[in-house]
Amino acid sequence: MRKLLKLIFNRIFIVGVLVLIQLIILILGIWKLSESFVYMYALFVILSLVVVVYIVSRKDNPSYKLAWTIPVLLVPVFGGLFYLLFGGNKIGRTLKKQIDAEYYEAKELLKQDEAVIEEIKAIDKSVYNQVKYINDYAAYPIYKNSTTEFLSPGEVFYEKLLEELKKAEHYIFMEYFIIHEGKMWDSILEVLVEKVKEGVDVRLLYDDMGCITTLPNKYHEKMEKLGIKCQVFNKFIPILSIIVNNRDHRKITVIDGHTAFTGGINLAEGNFKVNIKRRDTTKCEYEYINEVVRFGHWKDASIMIKGEAVWNLTVMFLQVWNFIGFNKEDYNKYRPKIYHLDEFGSDGYVQPYGDSPYDNELVGENVYLNIINKAKDYIYINTPYLIIDNELVTALTLAAKSGVDVRIVTPFIEDKWYAHIVTRAYYAQLIEAGVKIYEYTPGFIHSKTFVCDDEIGVVGTINMDYRSLYLHFECGVFLYKTKSVMQIKEDFLNILDVSQNITLEDTKKVKWSNRFLRAILRVFAPLM
């Protein structure tokens, strides 16, 4: 009885019921109208046909177009209206103006040091082209006076984060997709509260949908009472709308302007139940820092940056902070050298960058494509999901066919059964072209890392799936000739030692029913 009451009063259950009621009312309303008035039926059908023409004419990815066109044509009475409600990237005019204003202002603050970019040009023109693309179209420059340290798994990140947070003297900015009350967050919160007492400006930004099952409702009010300035990104309102798709998937910590963290690690402890398909069906609990481990290991990665490159992440945080709260911050108060008077160390070239679903520029995907297309010897990829469009499939297969050693590691244990099924649906096509696919046997790999030719690396929040590449606010760090590049490579090779190589024969050992389900889910993957 207690479990039932807990479920009934759970926020996501209440929200889900409210949305379902709206959906039922909408469907019944349309059905009754079309049933009673033949002209209304004809109107809805015509609307659906117009919507299909509109979908086809858009600049969207062809896979996304197909995923919407099929249901609209199959159910023309409802399809067109459903697309108008849920299709595309819709955003309110007020919010759009605020976002545009913030991004325009920030662009003026993010000026590229031409000497640095010309230095890269003299070394490698193809890397220069990549750096120039990120600077020109995402407005994030590359820096030389910075150092990086690759942190994996989550336990290493956790210890280093606590260590650096305790050193904070002026401000702490934290922006995370998921925060979950437990050992990890409680110990971090303890430090944050202590820092508030010392006069440190502590700010917290979390995504409402990401935290819908992990934090109580109005958790930001609790933070405010503790002296922590707190805002909620895209508050989830139980109204039928596509805006729910645009989540803040970033994970960023900035300390005093000169130290920053980003990567795949949320401030959370998992409590998820997953099936391990290892000849038997066992249940597993896992978490980001592996505090509770029964049958699986959570493998994740982050990167610590010190130096001028932190400025990109500081601006990134303040952009979101300002357009959510309609604030007007003086960005210049938070520059790296305000509270760090000594010269920064230098370790290669570092370029943190962000990706927004509202700028019509697929920065996250294009960075990945550029790396794949320009790889000479090898490219090693960690990703929790492999749900990719034709552009990425073509790039990966062409690289492998051209003699590049392309290796991808995905999880053996899934966190989302449908995502895992679609991920495996891509295996055969990639393997046939020469791409080597591995599954991380000990558990779930959540790392989002690229390493290429001992020179180029990427660590960030960007999964290789449609949600990350098209719908979410994301961030990553492009690395060139840093010591962390080789750390990423070493970590990847260690992962291979405990991962199983998937062969073409393995992909054929699938029941016809599962093959059919894979095919269906792959078609509709862009909508997941």
| Cα distance between residue 84 and residue 93, in whole Å | 16
Amino acid making up residue 253? T
**441-455 pLDDT, tens per residue?**
998 999 999 999 999
**368-391 pLDDT, tens per residue?**
999 999 999 999 999 999 999 899
Q: Where are the domains of the chain?
A: 2-86, 93-120+140-350, 363-527
Domain covering 363-527: architecture: 2-Layer Sandwich (3.30)
Judge whether 93-120+140-350 and 363-527 match in fold.
yes
Instruction: Count CB atoms within 10 A of the CB of residue 116.
Output: 18
Mean pLDDT over each residue of the chain, to the nearest integer:
85
The CA distances from residue 195 to 174, 198, 221, 381, in Å, are 13, 5, 18, 38
Average pLDDT over residues 481-490: 97
Closest of 402, 481, 489 to residue 131, by C-alpha: 481
Which element (helix H / strand E) includes 6? helix 2-8
251 pLDDT above the threshold of 60: yes
Residue 487, pLDDT score:
97
Q: What is the CATH number of domain 93-120+140-350?
A: 3.30.870.10
279: left (phi over 0), alpha (psi -120 to 50) or beta: left
115 pLDDT above the threshold of 90: yes
**148-181 pLDDT, tens per residue?**
999 998 899 999 999 999 999 999 999 999 998 8
| Cα distance between residue 479 and residue 426, in whole Å | 28
| Cα distance between residue 434 and residue 423, in whole Å | 17
Residue 144 token pair: 């030389």
Residue 6, pLDDT score:
52
Q: Are strands 297-299 and 443-445 parallel, antiparallel or unpaired?
A: parallel
pLDDT confidence band for 359 (50 / 70 / 90):
confident
Tally helices (H) and strands (E) across the chain. Answer: 20, 19
| Cα distance between residue 358 and residue 448, in whole Å | 22
| Cα distance between residue 66 and residue 46, in whole Å | 19
Residue 275, pLDDT score:
42
Who contacts 45 (Cβ-Cβ below 8 Å, separation ≥6)?
76, 77
237 pLDDT above the threshold of 60: yes
**290-334 pLDDT, tens per residue?**
554 433 688 999 999 999 999 999 999 999 998 887 777 889 999
Residue 394 token pair: 């073509």
Provide the β-strand partners of residue 297.
443
Which element (helix H / strand E) includes 265? none
Amino acid making up residue 422? V
31 vs 281, residue with greater confidence: 31
Instruction: Count CB atoms within 10 A of the CB of residue 278.
Output: 11
